[in-house]
Structure 1
Amino acid sequence: MKLLITTLIFVLSMSTTAQDTIIPLWPKNQIPNRIASEEQEVHVKEGILRISKVQEPHLEVYLPAKQNATGQAMLIFPGGGYQILAYDWEGTDIAKFLNGKGIAGIVVKYRLPTSESLKENYNVPLIDAQRAIRLVRSKADEFNIATNQIGIIGFSAGGHLASTLGTHFNEKVYEAIDDADKQSARPDFMSLVYPVITFSQSTKHTGSQKALLGGYETEERIKHFSNELQVTKETPATLLVHASDDKGVPVENSLLFYQALKDNEVSATMHIYPEGGHGFSLARENAHLRGWTERLFEWMESLK
């Protein structure tokens, strides 16, 4: 009996250790640009976990065993057209996969601009993204990561948010609330997977633009969030991944961003696959396309 109890405690402790860690993005009652409403967060699981109307953004942290850790971390921004988050498909599944390579995977559950609980909705995803990377950088010792090895990866509209963070990291979009906000919001590197990039070209993703800028679609703001126009020499090294047959977000989005990086002498790597469509995530069922994850790891190793 004593042996059984000891074994059970051991198993439970192992299970607890393997659990992810949830960290609120903001102190309670200090979430910027939030207004009171009756709106409730919605979770729908139909093959993919889709989260909408996010009320309390958080980080979901997955850390590799200390002995396997490379010191690198990636904040993960799931896509969903700025209307939902494909939370496991382009979030937690990616984090767990990164862990297998010794990389800390940190999913950002960011607020969506279609929520009724926001003011200046178009700024809120960037507000949460800036806070997320600053918070992670402030916890580098706790997470066993290097402060200069913190990157980001975004998928589809999450790729738009990641590229917004990578080009607007110095933009002041909220007032500092604690010591974490003294940290830099600049990613050390970023990967954009079938990303939404432009709002000003014919190859734009209209749904993402309307969701982010609905009611605020001035010409100035459209240019402001067309991130191929916002690249500078300070933009971090970038890896782009896209499929040529993407009908949802045309490959020209990645091509525009690649050209802007090249024009500004920023390190740029791009992998374009002939087939894959949109929203392929890890592409585990496509023997050719799934190689993009190995290209990601090779690229990350080359940055050290």
Structure 2
Amino acid sequence: MKFISIKRYLIVVMSLTVFGCASKERVIELWPEGKIPNHIKTEEKEVHEQTNILRIKNVQTPTIEVFLPDESNATGKAMLIFPGGGYGLLAYDWEGTDIAKFLNNHGIAGIVVKYRLPSDKTQTKKHTVPLIDAQRAIRLVRSRAEDWNIDKNEIGIIGFSAGGHVASTLGTQYNKNVYEPIDKIDELSARPDFMALIYPVITMGEKTHKGSKKKLLGENPSEALVNAYSNHLHINKETPVTFLVHAIDDKAVPKENSEFFHGLMSTQGEGMSSLYLYKKGGHGFSLAKEKPHLKEWSKKLISWVNELESD
């Protein structure tokens, strides 16, 4: 009997070990060592601050963190997640890993992108850096789609606040040449198949979030640079179908950001966008778990994603 107990114990331990390995989140660097584009090596260190939210600053090594749903309910769809933080930090769990786990519950792979933030110390053309990392991230996911049980034609993106600006930049400028290819991964398409923009920064004009604009473009950017990163101006027939959410009382990022994008999707794009405006909600509400009237946005997102057809 004692032998049987020990044997059973070992089987349980081995099973738990295997399960742990299978379910463990994968963290993968975007770039091979020493080949990060537009990167100046300095003594600057990446900072992680954990209070009620995990805030990451001074990102030095951009990564993706991969959360895969259980195979039994996997839909084959995936979404890359771009947390916000005004281009000064990343609200990494609040608008990142929490979102990935939510998506997993609905059979969607959630991939959190820890992208570099604009920096005058570690970059030259700092305004190009978030897009550089975003393009690489979606190409990397597409290169691993088969390994992760993902349909390479059903890879979307979701971004919050300044992360929504990163996402909308990728969605409208996925084919912009912002770095030299370094390997076969860079031969793959960087076009998202669909995108969700949650209280996003879209324009760099009058209705922008001033903090994000300053961090990304500097103190006195030229009109050309402002237009280059006002993403509603870059919508065309190839812009992916888009889901937008904004609160009317958002004091940080005016609702007009989402309205500009939605409006031009109907004229310059294929008209394939859905905009949900909420009377109250403010800014930075993420999944809005404590706000019954507002948390419905996430249910609408899942329904919207599930209705999309693969190209």
Q: TM-score, normalised by structure 1?
A: 0.97
Matched with 1:214 is 218
Matched with 1:261 is 265
Q: CA deviation at 1:263?
A: 1.0
- Which residue, 122, 129, 133 being the options, matches 1:128? 133
Cα RMSD of the aligned pairs, angstroms, is: 1.1
Superposed counterparts of 1:112-191, under 5 Å = 112-114=117-119, 116-191=121-196
Q: Which runs of 5+ in 2 are unaligned?
A: 1-5
Matched, 1:248 2:248: no
Matched with 1:78 is 83
Q: CA deviation at 1:215?
A: 5.3
In the TM superposition, what whole-angstrom CA distance separates every residue of 1:205-264 from its partner, at most 9, and x where no partner exists? 000000001157111000110111111111100000011111111111100110111112
Q: Is the 8 A contact 1:82 1:114 kept in 2?
A: no
Q: How many residue pairs get matched?
A: 303
Between 73-82 and 4-13, report the one with greater CA deviation: 4-13
Q: Is the 8 A contact 1:246 1:278 kept in 2?
A: yes
Matched with 2:280 is 275
The CA distance in 1 between the partners of 2:132 and 2:115, in whole Å, is 9
Superposed counterparts of 1:15-94, under 5 Å = 15-94=20-99
Matched with 1:228 is 232
- Whichever of the two has the greater Rg, that structure is 2
Q: Is the 8 A contact 1:197 1:204 kept in 2?
A: yes
% identity of equivalent residues: 55
Letter in 1 for 2:297: W
Q: Which runs of 5+ in 1 are unaligned?
A: none
Q: CA deviation at 1:2?
A: 3.2
Q: Alignment partner of 1:108: what SS?
A: strand
In the TM superposition, what whole-angstrom CA distance separates every residue of 1:45-102 from its partner, at most 9, and x where no partner exists? 0110000000000010001122211110000000000000000000001001100000
Matched with 1:239 is 243
Between 80-89 and 208-217, report the one with greater CA deviation: 208-217
Q: Alignment partner of 1:238: what SS?
A: strand
Q: TM-score, normalised by structure 2?
A: 0.95
Q: Alignment partner of 1:114: what SS?
A: coil
Between 216-225 and 283-292, report the one with greater CA deviation: 216-225
Matched with 2:3 is none
Q: Alignment partner of 1:217: what SS?
A: coil
Moved over 3 A (4+): none
The CA distance in 1 between the partners of 2:121 and 2:304, in whole Å, is 40
The CA distance in 2 between the partners of 1:293 and 1:196, in whole Å, is 19
Q: CA deviation at 1:3?
A: 2.5
The CA distance in 1 between the partners of 2:22 and 2:103, in whole Å, is 17
The CA distance in 1 between the partners of 2:256 and 2:26, in whole Å, is 37
The CA distance in 2 between the partners of 1:153 and 1:274, in whole Å, is 22
Matched with 2:109 is 104
Q: Is the 8 A contact 1:192 1:238 kept in 2?
A: yes
